[in-house]
Amino acid sequence: MPSIGPYTLPNPVVLAPMAGVTDRPFRQLCRQLGAGLVVGEMVSSSPDVRHTRKSQLRLDHTGEPEPIAVQIVGGDPEIMAQGAIFNVANGAQIIDINMGCPAKKVCNKAAGSALLKDEALVKDILQAVVGAVDVPVSLKIRTGWDPDNRNGVRIARIAEDAGIVSLAVHGRTRACGYRNTVEYDTIRAIKQSVGIPVFANGDITSARKAFEVMQYTGADGVLIGRAAQGQPWIFREVAHYLATGEELPAPQLQEVEQILLSHLEALYEFYGDFLGVRIARKHVSWYLQYQNGDSDFRTRFNRLESCTEQQQAVQQFFKDTIRKKELAA
């Protein structure tokens, strides 16, 4: 199994950090459902936003199993180093550096995947962060800036030389965003060029796809992001397939209902009723996109204003869906 510094993962399937998604309730759920490691939402290294409500929620790791992995973003070596020190003092046991986010609001500040354009600055940031903390530091990148400038191999070598202990590579360039087909050739070339663990990322939507990507690239593990939205059990499916070569059956509707209800309960507890109800809406939409149910349910659900109404609506949805399935059998 791959290791990140002193931490050997129980399996090579990792929840990728996603802003607005991989909060504490979701991280804990994914760990329970088989993720070998979860990484918190990207947090700015700037001290100016450290004490905002959003940052405080993102920095809350209460009750999480170790190791605690936190992703930081920024474009200034000294500020990034200070951000790493702050997060370690706040409980982070692995610092992950974001050089993969393609979002304009991040890239316009010369952070995220915008940094791939400036290899000297990449080196300075990595050396500064690694030198500032005594916990392992990992790095998330893309294959390059645009299809004509795939410098992922050079970045990977810079990272290894700077003391980065593992690397996650999304198989698209910054310019591709989340469009276009992921290409795994650059990930394979990166894996062949460095001695540290490499995790493949991008369009890994099933257990079989994870296996095929690892076989093709030689990667030590996979990062799963968007495919976990609404189906967090994908981690146990992938881990089981990688270990046995067998596909697990999809969860029964009754289990999906229980997972979703427990997720909602955790959201209400973590965010409070007002914010929890609003954040629950997107998660319920993701879960139910995989169920053949009432197409108007989402519209009606998004009008509900209380925890109890949401829970009752979900229970009724599954009751109706299960009944339809039984009648059709």
Provide the annotated active-site residues: 101
Q: Is 200 annotated as a binding residue?
A: no
Rounded Cα–Cα distance for residues 258 and 317 (Å): 13
The conformational region for residue 308 under phi > 0 = left, psi -120 to 50 = alpha, else beta, is: alpha
Q: Is 108 annotated as a binding residue?
A: no
Q: Is 111 annotated as a binding residue?
A: no
Return the H-helix or E-strand segment holding 187: helix 185-193
Rounded Cα–Cα distance for residues 299 and 261 (Å): 19
Q: Is 226 annotated as a binding residue?
A: yes
Q: Is 71 annotated as a binding residue?
A: yes
Q: Is 202 annotated as a binding residue?
A: yes
Span between the terminal Cα atoms of the chain, in Å:
42
Return the H-helix or E-strand segment holding 262: helix 253-271
Q: Is 201 annotated as a binding residue?
A: yes
Q: Is 17 annotated as a binding residue?
A: yes
User: Which class for 272: exposed (0-12), middle (13-18), buried (19 or more C-beta within 10 A)?
Assistant: exposed
- CA dihedral of residues 29, 35, 41, 43 (deg, nearest 10): 130
Give me the numbers of helices (H) and strands (E) for the chain, helices first please.
13, 11
Q: Is 258 annotated as a binding residue?
A: no
**Residues making up the binding site for FMN:** 17-19, 71, 140, 201-203, 225-226
